[in-house]
């Protein structure tokens, strides 16, 4: 009898933990974009949740999108279309 309630408690705990972990994982990209002061923060946040429907197939592209922009140099491309010195190495 005790083990039945214990197993039910463990099951509920695991389900709640997985639910909150899923929310945390899908907000990682938004938090990264927010920390970098990214201009498309809301779009990255929504796309992170859409990636759930695509079984995270678009996750690498969203990661690149969230980390590509830098507040001090923008996209790293000059007005003439060439890469800036910091990006080109």
pLDDT tens track for 7-26:
999 999 999 999 999 888 88
> Is residue 4 domain-resident?
no
Structural domain containing residue 34: 24-88
Residue with tokens 């389900």: 15
pLDDT tens track for 22-68:
888 888 989 988 988 888 899 999 999 998 888 889 989 999 888 88
Please state the pTM of the whole predicted model: 0.67
How many structural domains comprise the chain? 1
Neighbours of 33 (CB within 10 A): 24
Neighbours of 61 (CB within 10 A): 11
> Is residue 3 domain-resident?
no
CA distance 86 to 35: 20
DSSP string, 11-57: HHHHHHHHHHHHHHHHTHHHHHHHHTT-TTHHHHHHHHHHHHHTTTT
């Amino acid at each position: 009898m005790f083990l039945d309630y214990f197993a039910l408690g463990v099951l509920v705990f695991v389900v709640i933990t997985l639910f909150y972990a899923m929310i945390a994982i899908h907000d990682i990209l938004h938090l990264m974009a927010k920390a970098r002061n990214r201009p498309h923060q809301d779009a990255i946040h929504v796309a992170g949740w859409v990636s759930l429907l695509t079984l995270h197939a678009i996750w690498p592209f969203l990661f690149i999108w969230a980390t590509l922009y830098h507040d001090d140099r923008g996209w790293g491309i000059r007005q003439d279309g060439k890469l800036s010195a910091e990006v080109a190495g």
